[in-house]
Structures are given as structure tokens and as C-alpha cells.
Amino acid sequence: MIRITAVLGALVIALAGVAFTWDAPAPGQYLYILSNNVEQGQNSVIAYQRMDDGQLVPHPKGPFMTRGAGINNSTNGKLGPNDIDTPLIVSPDKTRLFAVNGYSNTIAVFDIQADGSLEHVSGSPFESMGVGPVSLAMSGDVLIVANRNEDPHQLAELSGAAYSNYATFRVGSEGRLTFLSKVELTDGQKNTQVLVSSRDASIIFGNEFVVDVDFDGEGDVSRLFGSEAKVAGGLQSFMLGSDGMLQQADRMALPETVDPAPEVPTIPLGIWDHPTRKLLYAGLVTRNQLGTFRYDRYGKLSFVSAVANSGQDICWLRVNKAGTRLYAVNNLPREDEQDAAGTITVFDISGDKAEQPVEISRIELPLPLGTFVNNRAMAQPNSTPFQLTLDEDERFLYVINQRIDQSIQRKTSHASQLGGELGNVLHVLRIKTDGTLEVAGSRHLGQDGVHETARPQGVVTLDM
């Protein structure tokens, strides 16, 4: 997440009062998040039964251990390691769930049981064939993994002993992973997300984003690798063969979308595609713009437009099944809009607006849970939004908020002041008939097994 302008001072600390009405769980409706616990063997998938009003009840058999450890971004503000999407996914046939172990460099594979509980397949977890897996996607029976290699606790690999890569695996009938191929990023780029085209399952997209800069002047906090400061990113496309082999199709350094352009280049952070047109959207985080790109049947990308976004630090995206609305996470508050917390922007992408999206609303998320000063000497909320997902019926949008202040567990008085709620929150937003949003509720995740030192990642729903 990149902060270009100064952020607000004091934020609202008190818990926003949204009352929950706990009805019976809807049969066969579940939601999963990844705890990202950094202790060895303690990472887990936390499962919920979704109720008809969108609220959540912890699954009675959970949590489900991934037999690995999550990534510990203990640099208290380092950009990059947590800036990822789709770290856990459900297979298109709804029979399996896949989850990353970012520190253990493995992928956990679960069979989904009839009651929504999870059981490891034989041999799980499997080597990710890289360092720091962060994002997953499936095309048929092929699993694609983005290995980011930006773990500050695997510093030798981060400093040049290994490359980031995209790797492919065949998923066997019993769920075992067999390695097929990989494409390495030898220029120091760091991949944040991998995505399969909705229009053509042989086209794979990759998003790359690297920030290795000493923002605070201390020289040993923000910059972890390389001898020179680096801020860069771009988009890739690949063709996936019937044999599961990945071949690079195109690579795009993004064009400048403002004039005059600041020193920091245009960089994408989150991507998603249109369900009925060959269009790819990207959150242009350094410009606070939503970018649109066309692609052809060979995966060749071409820039179409960049439109303004009223939020701050646009990141991760989702598009509804009809291709009429796009939802974008804005990681930080925007000072000139007097935000107290991160926000979600809604864009109209219907009809001709698919190539020139139009912002129609923006909603602020509750519970910023105080502020802290990060290692760029900027104040920011301690709880900011990251990944998001829609339920299958598109009645609700679920958003994961992570605790950002990595030293807060040592601040016992502050933790006590916040009632022990340290910023890890799952928000439930109701989707109105026009596609705009309203807050339906918020759930603190500490009560569900997310450790205070962890930053939960990823959210996915399942309707059996």
C-alpha cells in the first residue's frame, strides 16, 4: 500500500455500533479466511457458517490447521509482504480448498466435506516450488501459484538467493499436487496476484508490485534487498498449455496516466477481469485510479483508460457476475474527504462504461481502532482493508481488515484501551439493488482464533 499524501491525525477509536441479529445458519453456505498465524504449524483456515442475513457463526469443527506458518511482516510498515490477493481459493467444482503457508513455502490442500468442514488430502501440504507463496488460481485441473519471495524472515532468498516465480501444478484425482512448470522473475519484480481469465481459461494474468525504499531515513527498516531503492510494477500475461506448462505471452510496464507524472511510477496492485468482455482491471495504487486494459486471444495486453477514484490507495478488486459493478478496496483514509478509515468504491462498468468505469459511490468501513505512526513517519489507522469477496448470490460483500501496527501486542495499555481488539476485523456489507453498499456488521477475529501477532489474509465463500 502506497501513501502519497499525508493522512489524518486522530481517528475514531470507539467500536461502531452495528447490532447483529443471529439467525440460524443458512444450509450449505460457508465462508473461509486464512489466519496467517506466524508460529510454526499454527497457520489455519477459519471457517464460518453464513446466515441468511450475511452474518457469521464459527464452524463447530474449526479452525482447520494448514500444517504450516504464515508470513510475519514484522518490519512495522514495510510495503509489499502483505499486499497480495487470493491466498486461498475454492476449486471451481467446489470440492477442494487450497491455502498458502507463506513462511513454510507450502500449499495446503483440503477436501471440503458435506458440512463445510475441511480434511487434508494425502500428502498435504505440498511444496510451492518457490519462496513465499501468496496467490492461487485454478484453470481446469491446473493450480497456478504466485511465489512472491518477499518474506523478511527468509532474507537470504529475498536478497538474491531465489527469484519470485509463477508455478503450475496438476491437481490429481485425490488432490495431490504434481509440479509442472514455472516462470521466474529474474528482474527483481515481486508478484502479488495470479488470475485466470473468465473468458478464456488458457490465459493467465499476473500482477507485480515491488517497493524497496528507505522511507524513514533509517536505512534498515523499509529497504530489505538490493543496493538501490526500487519502486516498480507491471502486468504479465501467460498462455497455459493443455499440458499445464506456462508460457509468457506479454509483459507490460504501465503507461503514465497523469501529467506531470510524480517521481513514483504508475504501479498496479490488484487485478480482476470482466466476466463477458476481454477486459482486465487494475488498481493503479500510486495514482488512485482504476485502470482498464484489453487483451486478445493470445493474451496481448493494451491500455484503454485510467479513471479517477475518490478513495486513497486503491488496491484489490472484484467484479459482479453480470459485469455491471466493480468493487475496489481503498487501503487508507483520504484526508481531503475527511475519512476516518479505509473505504470501498463502487464503479458502474455496465455497457459502454466497461471501458470507462464511472464511480457511483464510496462507503467508509467502521472500526479504524486507533492510529499509529508507521515507518514512513505517517499516521494511519491500525485496521485497514485488504482482501474482499462477494457471496454467490451477490447479496453481501465481505472485507478482511488487518491489524497494521506490528508492535501493538507490546502496548498492553493501548490493547486494554481497545478492549483487546487489535484491528483484525471481518466486515459484512449488504449489496443494495443498485449495487451500492451499506454496512451490515463487523466481527472481531481474535475471538475466532486469529492470534494478536497475525494479520489474516484472504476471504472466500462457498455455497454447497
Q: Give burial (CB, 10 Å; 0-12/13-18/19+) of 231.
A: middle
Whether 455 is in a domain gets the answer yes
- Percent of the chain exceeding pLDDT 90 equals 73
User: What span, in angstroms and rounded, lies between the C-alpha atoms of 3 and 312?
Assistant: 8
User: What span, in angstroms and rounded, lies between the C-alpha atoms of 153 and 438?
Assistant: 39
Q: How many domains does the chain have?
A: 1
CATH number at 135 reads 2.130.10.10
Q: How many helices (H) and strands (E) does the chain have?
A: 2, 32
Which of 51-60, 90-99, 206-215 has the least mean pLDDT? 206-215
Whether 3 is in a domain gets the answer no
The whole domain housing 428 covers 29-463
Rg of the chain over CA atoms, in angstroms? 20
pLDDT higher than threshold 70 for residue 217: no
Whether 8 is in a domain gets the answer no
Whether 434 is in a domain gets the answer yes
CB 339 within 8 A of CB 8: yes
Residue 222: pLDDT band (50, 70, 90) is low
* Amino acid at the residue 363: I
Q: Over the stretch 79-116, which tens digit does the pLDDT of each residue have?
A: 778 899 999 999 999 999 999 999 999 999 999 999 99
Whether 12 is in a domain gets the answer no
Q: Give burial (CB, 10 Å; 0-12/13-18/19+) of 218.
A: exposed
- pLDDT value, residue 440: 96
Whether 360 is in a domain gets the answer yes
CB 166 within 8 A of CB 242: no
Whether 23 is in a domain gets the answer no
* Mean pLDDT, the chain, whole residue set: 88
Residue 263: pLDDT band (50, 70, 90) is confident
- Percent of the chain exceeding pLDDT 70 equals 86
Whether 59 is in a domain gets the answer yes
User: What span, in angstroms and rounded, lies between the C-alpha atoms of 170 and 189?
Assistant: 26
